[in-house]
Structure 1
Amino acid sequence: MAEQLNITRLPPLTVPSLSVAASYDQHRGKGTPLIIDNGSTHLRFGFCTSNGPRSQSNAVAKYKERRTNKPLLLFGDGIEAEGGAKSQVKTPWEGDVLLNFDALENALDYAFIQLGIDTPSIEHPVLMTERLCSPLHSRSLTSELMFEQYCVPSLAFCVDSVMSFYYNNLPSPPVPFSSDGLVVSFNTASTSVIPVLNGKGLMSHAKRIPWGASQATDYLLKLIQLKYPTFPTRVTTMQTNWMLQNFCEFSIDYPGLLRRLKDPLSMRASERILQFPFTLPTIEEKTEEELARIAERKREQGRKLQEIAAKARQEKLAQKENDLQHMLSLRERRDEESKKEWAVRNTLQEEGFDDDAELDSAIKKLENDLKKVRKKDADGDELEDEPPSFPLLDVPDADLEEDQLKEKRKQRLMKAGYEARERAKREKEREREEREAEERREVEERERDLAGWASKLKKEQEAIMNKIKERNRRRAALNDRKSAAAQARMKSIANLAADDRVPKKRRKGGGEDLFGADDADWAIYRKINNAAPSSDEEEDMVTLQAVEQKLLQHDPSFTHEHTHASLSAQRSALLTAFRPQYDDGDVEGKSRIHLNIERWRVCEAWFSPNMAGVDSAGLGEIMQNVLSRFSDQEKGRLVKNVFVTGGPSQLPELVPRMQAMLRPILPPEMPLEIVRAADPMSDAWKGMADFAKTDEFTKVGVTKEEYEEWGGERIKRWWGGNWNSSIPLE
């Protein structure tokens, strides 16, 4: 099933292995140049005579171990071994600028320990990388650290991408480096374009955009979070970077790709499914006896609840009848006594009523409540064995005692209730007869002309569905403040605010608000409140379900796919392909991430950073800007060797995309060749190692004596560095 759906499981976290320090004996006292590629994500270091660099994650964490309560200093992959240390991670780099020199010192300490250097000072000249256009104070502080802390004999800086170009274009046999080319470096926090003519990097013509692998990773993570806002598992930056490296790619024609992916089948074919770890819920299996016992217990509980509810209803009904009888007696006393005596006694206030109108309102409310309860009893067809008798109603009050008078009043209430139930039964019987007659007429019509009957019901269904659609469309339009519906709503609100039914003076004094006294007020309320429920909507749904049920039962051409529930439940096929839906109980499916358009959208941000919210020119625009500074002859030398390096340069389809981008801005006869670095991750270090073996290396570094005389801002001009002056900058 996993192969059928093209599902990929996330790789498990590997426990970092403990690296062993190398032997220093073969380099002791020889002054072998030391090569340090200080990258944003990885630190690569080693002697220039080594076969390859040692590599470690360029991150440090100061962490206090809980069991021993001792402070620990973790570097590189060792941070992954301690969960509590991950929140304390620091790197030497802030974006594309070297700022955290404490972390840099820790990184250099680790490198020198792993190389086995056990001398009080570093007795080796150092060649170290720096970013394109690095600030002068970063170089100055790095020089101070290297000369003051480690006492290196000399220090030289170079741009990593230029040294990678040097390694991949080094002639054989070795001669002075004089290659031409356009270096495009994809770094962690930026992407730079550096022209190289006659073996010299023209840094004054170089350009850089603030978009790199870290921004692409963050952008992909935001897209995933937007697509899956309730994803059950936390998606980490490390996992997102793994997705970027393994599933994202460049598109030669991004607008054409979007047009192609409008087809749901094409989008399904292009997706990659990531299966995150999940835990299935444990379900305890019960025996048949236990299930039967549980069912019997539930039935018993249901019976008890029904009995309790019935008893509560009877008690509530009896209480209401008693209250009604008491209120009726009050009204009878009021009618029998004169107004003056009634006012003097203040009986209503003692009973909790303000005036006669409130008493009449309470009596009317209780009568309505009792009427509803009796009608409900009548709907339940609770037939009485024989009509009840009320013998005291025919006896004059003068012939009755006090207890008999109370019983007579009670019988009068009971007779009124009985008569109300009888009327409700007769009304229900009449409605049943009318319904049966309507059903007979409908059956006759259906048997006489099935097609016409079905057509009439389908038109009725369509009309109701159109009403529901129009209601939903209006509700959606109210969310747009510029729509006509929203403006009409605001006009209604303004009219209500200016309502003068309550005088202004009385309104200021806390006068009664009369909104709601008129039934039209509630129509206005539903009009201005898009969340207010509508009784028409509920009636439409009931009618629609009844119509569809008849069509499903008698019309063979009408299926469940034609019902309103099925049509409304069917989401857009494209939206379903973009993010498939899983059932609530499917824990495995809920833990999947479907990558489709995101695979190309993230990479397209290198050429259009504004689509990710970065106000910057794209890679194609800055390459065109760089090439425009050169003559056609020099431009031809540059584009004949367009060299791409850096980790993101390994993403698929980058070279064809750059060819499709550069070819239209070049003359047709001008040759274009784009070359990818053999090993984008290590070629910069290898190029530095090869350069350190030449005699030219001794001329580009600043010695300790020059540092002590001129300070950390002392620089030397050379083809692989940032600076173009051999005098100190002030």
Structure 2
Amino acid sequence: MEVDDSNISFLPILPLPTVHVPATDYDDHREASTPLCIDNGSTHLRFGFCTSETPRTGINMVAKYKERKTNKPLLLFGEGIDIEGGARSQAKTPWEGDVLLNFDALENAMDYAFIHLGIDTPTVDHPILMTERLASPLHSRSLTSELMFEQYSVPSLAFCVDSVMSFYHNNLPSPPVPFHGDGLVVSFNTASTSVVPILDGRGLMSHAKRINWGASQASDYLLKLIQLKYPTFPSRVMPPQCNWMLQTYCEFSPDYTSLLRKLKDPLNLRAAERILQFPYTLPVTEEKTEEELARIAERKKEQGRKLQEIAAKSRQEKLLQKENDLTHLLSVREGREEVSKREWAETLKEEGFANDAAFDATIKKLEADLKKARKKEVDGEEAENEEPPSFPLVDVPDEELDEEGLKEKKKQKLLKAGFEARERVKREKEREREERAAEEKREEEERDRDLTGWAAKLRREQEAIMTRIKERSRRRAALTDRKSAASQARMKSIANLAADDRVPKKRRKAGGEDTFGADDADWAIYRKINTAAASSDEEEDFASLQAIEQKLLAHDPTFTEEHTHAALSSQRSALMAAFRPQYEEGDAQGKARIHLNVERWRVCEAWFSPSMAGVDSAGLGEVLQNVLARFPDQDKGRLVKNVFLTGTPSQLPGLSDRLHATLRPILPPEMPLEIVRAADQTLDAWKGMADFAKTEEFKTVGVTKAEYDEWGGERIKRWWGGNWNSSVPL
């Protein structure tokens, strides 16, 4: 198929990461107790002093690996894992989905962060502000506190919710005015999506909601859709490639249902697709000269000729053997009336037959085989040039012949019968050819006299045949549904066959004769109940349809290939062809392409309908409606006036319009609705942490080392940016 080259995108080839990152100059922060901000994300670890403009970033992944040459154990973090090919399989992250579980990996990540910040003291003498997930389990906080206080002896540790910090940075008040922002924070994370209402600068965590669908699940869902669409794709589609496709080509639709109706048009579906070209290898074909090709063709022709000669010789030998066997069996049958039953039974046993039925069946089969073989000879070239044989002994009386003459006379009778049968078949063939020629002549005269009428008649015949074929296809499809009328009728036919009441039960027990099959129509029941059986009527219809279309293509200028049954059938499946275009067998370049069309919107729609991806969860629209329903109209108006989107997936196009289409119908018409995005969806959470760490309030929200020693890791301080800030006692 032809594809517009301008619509083809090639997968980006990312450069190998570098692991040499110079450490920060620590002298400016030595003994200054500058707060450290650590955004411990599921994908990236962002860390730095609060006085820095931007944080240092690394992939939050650790691998313990032995170098192949020296067998030296290595501890690789972040981008360094990609340097060693075998380290990727042994990599692990501190997070399992959206829960912090692997604390060994977290310790290695903290070592990486502190080393690159240049901290060379035995302990980390800096207050720590670290992010945690919304509704994070208490034991995760406890174990993290234990790691920070026991391993690094930090002076204080505070936890915050990353989305609230991003909101804080984008709504930062002018000092020294306290923070009193209002808004509804919608945070799109790697493994979850959360909704946090904020009133008077305080995150109302008791009203917050989280769904277990994020960028990683969306990327996995896209990978599954691609694998389902291309089960035999020549290359392996990797999760990082799917993540790049998600960020580059996927988007939200304001009305997904209307979009699907629009994409039902194959032209619209092709216009919306994005084509990804994967690497491929062209097959190496050995080019041969014309002399070599001619020599190969001649060798194949000679081999075919030898095979034909061998097959013809084998057929002739088999035919002669069958004629001899038939002659012998006929001579044996002629003596059946002259001997007793006992002698005849012994004769049958000597010939290898169990009874008369087997004997007669063998004779009948031999006669049928010989008749079929003679018919083929008539159609062949040898039969056309066959000279009439002579049978001189046929008319000679038996009394004038000896025993050998009688045998020869029987053989000549058989040969004469075969010759006469061939002559009859030949005359029948000649009569059929004459009738066919006369029919073609009448059709040609009709075509010359009225081409339009002739073409209209053939088109009506074509339409009638296609209608019959369509009805059979529709019936086969209906039979696959056990609740359909056709399927139930089929089951009734099977039940009637199983309980045939045409022969009474008493008569059946007494050996009464079953009349099934006496009428030819009885056998049609098997065609009805066996959906997989080929229909002879359908084969005849296809043959007639092909003949009609060939005539129309040859003589009707208005009838083109697009009007044939094959073209019309392909047009009916044009939507499938646009959904997944088919390439020729030898097209390695086309076979290595992925066409993204419906998937571009379907993956993003799963945020609002996780059930379409097999996840038993409420969608984002339902969660927003549930959260807003907890507030009176006055507070609800304050929330929806600042619907704040943060997180890397919030960069996907169309999200604001999709949320507007979701929220507007559930709000009063006069209530204003404003949806805003974070200035930097990736780094705003860390920047908000850095902004807050510079304030005096930060010193009051952290758990100190002394408090940890007295109360343990379960000690919690409630504050407006943390998980536990409600008035409910713990």
- In the alignment, which of 103, 121, 134 is matched to residue 132 of structure 1? 134
Aligned to 1:616: 617
- Deviation at residue 526 of structure 1 after TM alignment: 1.5
- Deviation at residue 406 of structure 1 after TM alignment: 4.3
In structure 2, the CA distance between the partners of 1:501 and 1:55, relative to structure 1 (3 Å rule), is: farther
Counterpart of 1:376, as a letter, is K
Aligned to 1:297: 299
Normalized against structure 1, the TM-score is what? Answer: 0.92
Residue 219 (str. 1) matches residue 224 (str. 2): no
More off after superposition, 597-606 vs 535-544:
597-606
- Deviation at residue 70 of structure 1 after TM alignment: 5.7
Query: Following the alignment from structure 1 to structure 2, what is the Cα–Cα distance between the partners of residues 386 and 53?
Result: 103
In structure 2, the CA distance between the partners of 1:688 and 1:466, relative to structure 1 (3 Å rule), is: same
Deviations 1:238-295 (Å, cap 9, x if unpaired)?
1111111111122233344334434443333322222222222222211111111111
Residue 368 (str. 1) matches residue 368 (str. 2): yes
SS at match of 2:337: helix
More off after superposition, 147-156 vs 256-265:
256-265
Check conservation: 1:183, 1:193, Cα contact below 8 A.
yes
- In the alignment, which of 321, 324, 332 is matched to residue 322 of structure 1? 324
Residue 231 (str. 1) matches residue 196 (str. 2): no
Aligned to 1:481: 482
Query: Following the alignment from structure 2 to structure 1, what is the Cα–Cα distance between the partners of residues 95 and 513?
Result: 68
In structure 2, the CA distance between the partners of 1:402 and 1:77, relative to structure 1 (3 Å rule), is: farther
Residue 538 (str. 1) matches residue 539 (str. 2): yes
Deviations 1:588-629 (Å, cap 9, x if unpaired)?
223222222322222222233333333333323322332333
- Deviation at residue 573 of structure 1 after TM alignment: 4.2
Query: Following the alignment from structure 2 to structure 1, what is the Cα–Cα distance between the partners of residues 104 and 567?
Result: 63
In structure 2, the CA distance between the partners of 1:671 and 1:433, relative to structure 1 (3 Å rule), is: closer
- Deviation at residue 62 of structure 1 after TM alignment: 4.0
Aligned to 1:378: 378
In structure 2, the CA distance between the partners of 1:684 and 1:301, relative to structure 1 (3 Å rule), is: same
Check conservation: 2:19, 2:79, Cα contact below 8 A.
no
Structure 1 gaps, min length 5: none
Counterpart of 1:358, as a letter, is A
More off after superposition, 171-180 vs 298-307:
171-180
Aligned to 1:352: 352
Query: Following the alignment from structure 2 to structure 1, what is the Cα–Cα distance between the partners of residues 387 and 690?
Result: 112
- In the alignment, which of 137, 143, 146 is matched to residue 144 of structure 1? 146
Query: Following the alignment from structure 1 to structure 2, what is the Cα–Cα distance between the partners of residues 457 and 263?
Result: 31
Residue 655 (str. 1) matches residue 672 (str. 2): no
- Deviation at residue 55 of structure 1 after TM alignment: 1.3
Deviations 1:181-232 (Å, cap 9, x if unpaired)?
2211111121111122222211112122222112222222233333333333
Residue 439 (str. 1) matches residue 440 (str. 2): yes
Counterpart of 1:482, as a letter, is K
Query: Following the alignment from structure 2 to structure 1, what is the Cα–Cα distance between the partners of residues 153 and 102?
Result: 20
SS at match of 1:230: coil
Query: Following the alignment from structure 1 to structure 2, what is the Cα–Cα distance between the partners of residues 726 and 326?
Result: 110
Check conservation: 1:710, 1:728, Cα contact below 8 A.
no
Question: Which residues of 2 match residues 182-197 of structure 1 at below 5 A?
Answer: 182-197=184-199
Aligned to 1:642: 643
Counterpart of 1:365, as a letter, is K
Counterpart of 2:335, as a letter, is R
Question: Which residues of 2 match residues 660-699 of structure 1 at below 5 A?
Answer: 660-699=661-700
SS at match of 1:391: coil
Which structure 1 residue ranges, 4+ long, deviate > 6 Å from structure 2? 500-508, 511-518, 725-728
Aligned to 1:172: 174
Query: Following the alignment from structure 1 to structure 2, what is the Cα–Cα distance between the partners of residues 207 and 185?
Result: 11
Residue 585 (str. 1) matches residue 582 (str. 2): no
SS at match of 1:84: coil
- In the alignment, which of 268, 271, 282 is matched to residue 270 of structure 2? 268
Counterpart of 1:364, as a letter, is K
- In the alignment, which of 244, 255, 260 is matched to residue 253 of structure 1? 255
SS at match of 2:617: coil
- Deviation at residue 395 of structure 1 after TM alignment: 4.6
More off after superposition, 268-277 vs 576-585:
576-585
More off after superposition, 106-115 vs 639-648:
106-115
Counterpart of 1:692, as a letter, is A
Check conservation: 1:167, 1:690, Cα contact below 8 A.
yes
Query: Following the alignment from structure 1 to structure 2, what is the Cα–Cα distance between the partners of residues 505 and 92?
Result: 80
More off after superposition, 666-675 vs 320-329:
666-675
- In the alignment, which of 334, 342, 349 is matched to residue 336 of structure 2? 334
In structure 2, the CA distance between the partners of 1:522 and 1:686, relative to structure 1 (3 Å rule), is: same
- Deviation at residue 360 of structure 1 after TM alignment: 0.7
Question: Which residues of 2 match residues 412-561 of structure 1 at below 5 A?
Answer: 412-499=413-500, 520=521, 522-561=523-562
Query: Following the alignment from structure 1 to structure 2, what is the Cα–Cα distance between the partners of residues 513 and 106?
Result: 85
Aligned to 1:94: 96
SS at match of 2:336: helix
In structure 2, the CA distance between the partners of 1:196 and 1:569, relative to structure 1 (3 Å rule), is: closer
- Deviation at residue 9 of structure 1 after TM alignment: 1.0
Query: Following the alignment from structure 2 to structure 1, what is the Cα–Cα distance between the partners of residues 526 and 66?
Result: 62
Query: Following the alignment from structure 2 to structure 1, what is the Cα–Cα distance between the partners of residues 407 and 56?
Result: 105
In structure 2, the CA distance between the partners of 1:340 and 1:710, relative to structure 1 (3 Å rule), is: same
Query: Following the alignment from structure 1 to structure 2, what is the Cα–Cα distance between the partners of residues 513 and 411?
Result: 44
Deviations 1:54-75 (Å, cap 9, x if unpaired)?
2122223344556666655433
SS at match of 1:360: helix
In structure 2, the CA distance between the partners of 1:555 and 1:656, relative to structure 1 (3 Å rule), is: closer
- Deviation at residue 512 of structure 1 after TM alignment: 13
Query: Following the alignment from structure 1 to structure 2, what is the Cα–Cα distance between the partners of residues 297 and 98?
Result: 72
Question: Which residues of 2 match residues 397-412 of structure 1 at below 5 A?
Answer: 400=401, 403-412=404-413
In structure 2, the CA distance between the partners of 1:405 and 1:451, relative to structure 1 (3 Å rule), is: same
- Deviation at residue 173 of structure 1 after TM alignment: 4.1
Check conservation: 1:714, 1:728, Cα contact below 8 A.
no
Check conservation: 2:205, 2:726, Cα contact below 8 A.
no
Residue 706 (str. 1) matches residue 707 (str. 2): yes
Residue 157 (str. 1) matches residue 159 (str. 2): yes
Query: Following the alignment from structure 2 to structure 1, what is the Cα–Cα distance between the partners of residues 79 and 541?
Result: 64
Check conservation: 1:715, 1:727, Cα contact below 8 A.
no
Check conservation: 1:715, 1:726, Cα contact below 8 A.
no
- Deviation at residue 716 of structure 1 after TM alignment: 0.7
State the percentage of identical aligned residues: 78
Query: Following the alignment from structure 1 to structure 2, what is the Cα–Cα distance between the partners of residues 506 and 693?
Result: 103
More off after superposition, 144-153 vs 36-45:
144-153
More off after superposition, 129-138 vs 255-264:
255-264
Counterpart of 2:314, as a letter, is A
Counterpart of 2:535, as a letter, is S
- Deviation at residue 400 of structure 1 after TM alignment: 5.0
In structure 2, the CA distance between the partners of 1:491 and 1:638, relative to structure 1 (3 Å rule), is: same
Query: Following the alignment from structure 1 to structure 2, what is the Cα–Cα distance between the partners of residues 383 and 2?
Result: 55
In structure 2, the CA distance between the partners of 1:328 and 1:214, relative to structure 1 (3 Å rule), is: same
SS at match of 1:335: coil
In structure 2, the CA distance between the partners of 1:404 and 1:60, relative to structure 1 (3 Å rule), is: farther
Residue 723 (str. 1) matches residue 724 (str. 2): yes
Counterpart of 1:623, as a letter, is L
Query: Following the alignment from structure 1 to structure 2, what is the Cα–Cα distance between the partners of residues 549 and 265?
Result: 30
Query: Following the alignment from structure 1 to structure 2, what is the Cα–Cα distance between the partners of residues 373 and 35?
Result: 94
- Deviation at residue 333 of structure 1 after TM alignment: 3.4
- In the alignment, which of 281, 284, 307 is matched to residue 282 of structure 1? 284
Check conservation: 2:8, 2:276, Cα contact below 8 A.
yes
- Deviation at residue 322 of structure 1 after TM alignment: 2.3
In structure 2, the CA distance between the partners of 1:403 and 1:66, relative to structure 1 (3 Å rule), is: farther
Counterpart of 1:348, as a letter, is L
- Deviation at residue 516 of structure 1 after TM alignment: 7.8
In structure 2, the CA distance between the partners of 1:434 and 1:636, relative to structure 1 (3 Å rule), is: closer
Structure 2 gaps, min length 5: none
- Deviation at residue 528 of structure 1 after TM alignment: 1.0
SS at match of 1:584: coil
Counterpart of 1:652, as a letter, is P
Query: Following the alignment from structure 1 to structure 2, what is the Cα–Cα distance between the partners of residues 275 and 537?
Result: 42
Query: Following the alignment from structure 1 to structure 2, what is the Cα–Cα distance between the partners of residues 448 and 726?
Result: 98
- Deviation at residue 372 of structure 1 after TM alignment: 0.6
- Deviation at residue 474 of structure 1 after TM alignment: 0.6
- Deviation at residue 94 of structure 1 after TM alignment: 2.2
In structure 2, the CA distance between the partners of 1:68 and 1:324, relative to structure 1 (3 Å rule), is: farther
Counterpart of 1:210, as a letter, is N
Check conservation: 1:560, 1:566, Cα contact below 8 A.
yes
Query: Following the alignment from structure 1 to structure 2, what is the Cα–Cα distance between the partners of residues 71 and 255?
Result: 55
